[in-house]
Amino acid sequence: MGWVAVAAAALLLQQAAEPLANPARDGLKALEEERYEAAAEAFEKAIEADPEDYGSLFNLAFAYTMLGRTREAIEGYQKVLELKPGLYQAELNLGILLLQGKDAEAAVPHLEAAAEQKPAEFRPHYYLAEALYQAGDDAGAERHYRKAAEIDPAAPEVQIGLGRAVFNQGRYEEAEAYYRRAAELDPQFKSYLLELGARYEEKDKAEAAIRIYRLFLDKAVVQERLGHLLLRLDRPEEALPHLQQAVSLSPTRANRFALAMAYIKTRQPEKALPLLDQVLAEDPKNYDVLMIRGRLLRDQRRFAAAAQHFLRAVEVRPDSQEAWKELAGMLILLENYPQALAALDRVEALGEAPASIHFFRGMIWDKARQYEQALASYERFLSLSNNQFPNEEFKARQRIKVIKKELRR
């Protein structure tokens, strides 16, 4: 923005000096015709003849800028400022190049110098505001965005800058007004409201983000963001249509998983299962999906299939006590007692185990007529249960009575 106008000012500066040597004159003609390679060659020759010709140095730096030879352009502008300290055009162009190269802190003093020299010019204030914003000085950036806005109230990029700077200072409603003003000035800037929605999300301002996202329901990415956000807010009924649309437009694993979770939360597990299968087909070692899929199968009393999912889960995470507990439960229901006992041992080995595992151990040993082990397990269960499992505690006491009679025989 503004390169050609700045170059033209420099050309006038040079034209006001002594009559130009042929290389410099050729370079100016090439610049006017936008033949930047030829211009660079001509100005290089001019500088060879006179290394202190700061006009040719400036124009060479400008030619390098237009050719994308940024490092050489920066070095050129720096040499110009050594020969002609404070030259407005060089300060401005150097500041812009440094800013574009993500060196905002280095750009600031040059843009400040340009803004001080031309306080009524738009460009130095705007680029200085951008540099200050990138350097983390939101208040300073706001000050110069406002000066740029005074000079050109119809510049939408300034309104976006103001929105960003005041948002970072916690003035959210004011920031939104600037974003909306930019969209009014130029409809192409409406898309920046999506940036505002994401910023609201980062600040945990979910309702504000939702309000913004609802302006862009024609975009797949917005359907996705809305669906995920509403699901995270535990509003699955609202999330469902957005996630359905997101999967239709962009069937990624994340979208399929989110839609599956919305179906589960709205008590439609039969719709969730195929989505989870698709996720596992792409990512067979996804622990979370294996656990969720296993629990759905468990709830449908498809114990063998559930056990297979929990087995895969413990293979992925051998240190997951939760997965071992689920696997043990399925193995007990399938009456696969040796493997169930091994799974219960793993549960206990992985940390503080619930009292219930001792009840299950007692039950397994009881069925196997290993009464001494069963008695010890039931008694251990009762010592830990603290009336948390009244039904199991009643069963354990009754079995203890029976087992003691058996052992006395």
> Whose structure tokens read 């800037």?
189
Considering the entire predicted model, what is its pTM? 0.75
Q: What is the 3-state secondary structure (H, E, C) of 370-407?
A: CHHHHHHHHHHHHHHHCCCCHHHHHHHHHHHHHHHHHH
Structure tokens at 395: 């069963």
CB-based contact 200:223 (threshold 8 Å)? no
pLDDT at 387: 87
AA letter at 145: Y
388-409: burial string, b at 16+ Cβ within 10 Å, e else: ebeebbebbeebbeebeeeeee
Which whole-number Å values give the CA distances from 225 to 136, 346, 366, in the listed order? Answer: 28, 40, 54
pLDDT at 188: 96
Q: With a cut of 70, which residues of the chain have pLDDT below it?
A: 1-21
pLDDT at 17: 47
First to last CA, the chain: 99
Helix, strand, or coil (residue 272): helix
Report the candidate in 83, 63, 130 with the shortest Cα–Cα distance to residue 102. 130
Report the candidate in 214, 181, 185 with the shortest Cα–Cα distance to residue 200. 214
DSSP state of 20: P
Looking at domain 284-347, its CATH class is mainly alpha
pLDDT at 15: 47
pLDDT at 4: 37
pLDDT at 361: 93
What's the rounded Cα separation, in Å, for the pair 308 and 76? 69
Sequence ranges of the chain with CATH classification 1.25.40.10: 284-347
Helix intervals (H) in 19-69: 22-32, 36-49, 54-67
Report the candidate in 186, 126, 188, 196 with the shortest Cα–Cα distance to residue 166. 196
What's the rounded Cα separation, in Å, for the pair 340 and 348? 13
Predicted confidence (pLDDT) per residue in 50-62, tens digit: 999 999 999 999 9
Which residues neighbour 65 within 8 Å (Cβ) at sequence distance 6 or greater? 3, 73, 93, 97
pLDDT at 21: 56
Q: Give me the helix-helix angle, 54-67 and 88-100, nearest 10°.
A: 30
Neighbouring CB atoms inside 10 A of 318's CB total 11
Phi then psi for 36, rounded to 5 degrees? Answer: -75, -30
Neighbouring CB atoms inside 10 A of 292's CB total 22
Helix, strand, or coil (residue 186): coil
